[in-house]
Amino acid sequence: MSPFLATIRTSFRRQLTYRAANISGLLTNLMFAFFRASVLIALFNEREAVNGLTVQGAVTYAGLTQTLIGYLSFFHWFDMMQTVYDGQIGADLLRPLNFFTYWLGIDIGRAFGALLIRSLPLFLVFALFYNITLPGSFLQWLAFILSIFFALLISFSWRFMVNLAAFWTPNALGIGRFVFGMSWTFSGFFLPLALFPRWLAQFARLTPFGAGVYIPIEIFLGLITGKELLQGILIQVFWIILLLLLDQWILSRGVRKLVIQGG
Amino acid sequence: MIHALRLLARMYRVQIRSQLQYPLSFIMDLLSSALILGFFFVAFALTLTRFESIGGWTLGEVAFIWGITEFSFGTMDMVFSGFDYDSFGPIIRKGQFDQLLLRPANITLQVLGSRFVIRRLGRMAEGLLIFLFGLSRIQLDWSLLKILYVPLLSISQILFFGSLFIIGATTTFWTMERLEILNIFTYGGAEVMSYPMHIFPRPIRMIFTYLVPSIFLSYFPAVYLLGKPDPLNAPAFISFLAPVIAMLMLWLALRFWRFGIRNYQSSGS
């Protein structure tokens, strides 16, 4: 087995062993999904649809965003940064695997593990409580699956880049919190972007955060189809390529500069 | 008592100095918490203007209770952050709590002083702004009692949220790890308390009435302060229970905390 696949497998298994943490996280996300769904229902208050978004769609939205939190882990990830500070990175750079690829493998394993034991059960339970919207065709399912995989790549390469700040400063945590915070706001995590003013929603979905969180949900709810759907996927591809290139470039400069502490 | 306060002040001073060591990082932290949480409100406000009202409450009325809750939670998160189970868990796991127990000072005081997160000023400022925004949009029928009750409500909320943190920290004596599930009642509770709580379905309301009595610290007081009709038809005096409930929670939390310490077994690492 290639080192990359082995990394994914190990990380996947490790994720599955955190049973208590996963269940605890699942219940937390589920409750938050209930809170947000209740607020949306109260907002719609008998209205059928607003800006093409139905109440049912909005409720599904609340469930989906909470479902994706564990899988995408978009807004809280300091693992790589930690290895810079504790010296572990010295060993990681010597692995028979490119440093970026190594972490990508770790993250894919983590994400699939979370998807299996945290995200999927959460969505299934949520679906028992609410009437939800599901993709209507095989093609729509396929587009959604492709799109959440792309979303993971965007999420990872973005988080990796933020963590690279640790190569330059001894306190990248503050920078990380700031940047991750900013990403929250444009991802559409709080409330469906469709309910925002049009210009704001359009801007948000062009950012990597909107592309990572909102576009897969749009596809799932059928808010975008055909040409628009293709456009959405292209926005994702654009961000993946750009972020990957940036990651490689910053990493290669960072490694030359890195001073490993402790170890 | 004076000695204790002096000790606490000293611990806070150390904390503040160390947190200001990286000014850029500090400022970004300050801005980020204010902006992010502030944006959550802006997003909600933009959405609400599309719908006009939520559960019969206008944007100004929601902002009023949202702002108070944000301010209180931010303040609590600064003062009680020693009990923040996110950071207290590792202290237990690494056996650092044993060190604290050996020191010749009150253990509760030491934990309280062990962490003082000044970047929470961002959230406090954000809450205050939302509160003022709310005030500017509503015609409140002020009375002396109401003027006095607003700060008292905020203090009650601070102690209430603080109690939840103390309970959360205490659970880590047994679990060794932070339980994410507690976020439902702390962060989730604060979120639920920011809305007119009658909009939530009965099961959620029951949880936040009987399991964790959050509703007495936001919805009921707000009904009185804002003069809103109460679809839940609670007797009028319920609006004034906030300080009582807060003191009760704090008392319970501290008892649980002491019980936890008595039964504490070191992780041994």
A184: chain B residues, CB-CB within 8 Å: 36, 39
Place of tokens 């899988």: A71
Closest to A144 (Cα-Cα) out of A56, A229, A238:
A229
Has residue A110 got a pLDDT over 90? yes
In tens, the pLDDT along B128-139 reads 999 999 999 999
A20: chain B residues, CB-CB within 8 Å: 177
Phi and psi, residue B256, nearest 5°? -60, -40
The percent of residues above 90 in pLDDT, for chain A, comes to 60
Residue B80 is given by DSSP the state: T
Mean pLDDT of A174-181: 82
The token pair at B240 is 């004034």
Q: Do the interacting molecules here have an ipTM over 0.85?
A: yes
Q: What count of other Cβ atoms lies within 10 Å of the Cβ of residue B100?
A: 13
The token pair at A121 is 């059960």
- Taking an 8 Å cut-off on Cβ atoms, the answer to whether A35 and B179 are in contact is no
In tens, the pLDDT along A36-81 reads 999 999 999 878 888 889 999 999 999 999 999 889 988 788 999 9
Phi and psi, residue A52, nearest 5°? 80, -5
Question: B28-42 burial, b for 16+ CB within 10 Å, e for fewer?
Answer: bbbbbbbbbbbbbbb
The model's confidence at residue A263, banded by pLDDT at 50, 70 and 90, is very low
Query: Taking a contact as any Cβ pair under 8 Å apart, which residues of chain A between 148 and 177 contact chain B?
Result: 169-171, 173-175, 177
Q: How many domains does chain B have?
A: 1
Instruction: Give CA–CA dist A236/A247, Å, rounded.
Output: 16
Has residue A29 got a pLDDT over 60? yes
Query: Taking a contact as any Cβ pair under 8 Å apart, which residues of chain A between 176 and 235 contact chain B?
Result: 177-178, 181-182, 184-185, 190-191, 195-197, 200
The model's confidence at residue A90, banded by pLDDT at 50, 70 and 90, is confident
Has residue A261 got a pLDDT over 70? no
**Which residues sit opposite B54 in a β-bridge?**
B57
Which of A28, A34, A181 lies closest to B32 in CB terms? Answer: A181
Please list the ranges in chain B whose pLDDT falls under 70.
268-269
- Residue A249 forms contact with B (CB below 8 Å): no
> Could you list the residue range(s) of the whole structural domain that residue B64 is in?
2-262
Phi and psi, residue B57, nearest 5°? -105, 140
- Taking an 8 Å cut-off on Cβ atoms, the answer to whether B199 and A38 are in contact is yes
Please, are residues A255 and A168 in contact by the beta-carbon 8 Å criterion? no
Coil vs helix vs strand at B255: helix
Interface probe for A, chosen from B184, B197, B211, B214 (most Cβ of A below 10 Å), is B184
Cβ-Cβ pairs closer than 8 A, A with B, add up to 96
B177: chain A residues, CB-CB within 8 Å: 20-21
> Helix A55-72 and helix A99-114: axis angle, to 10°?
130
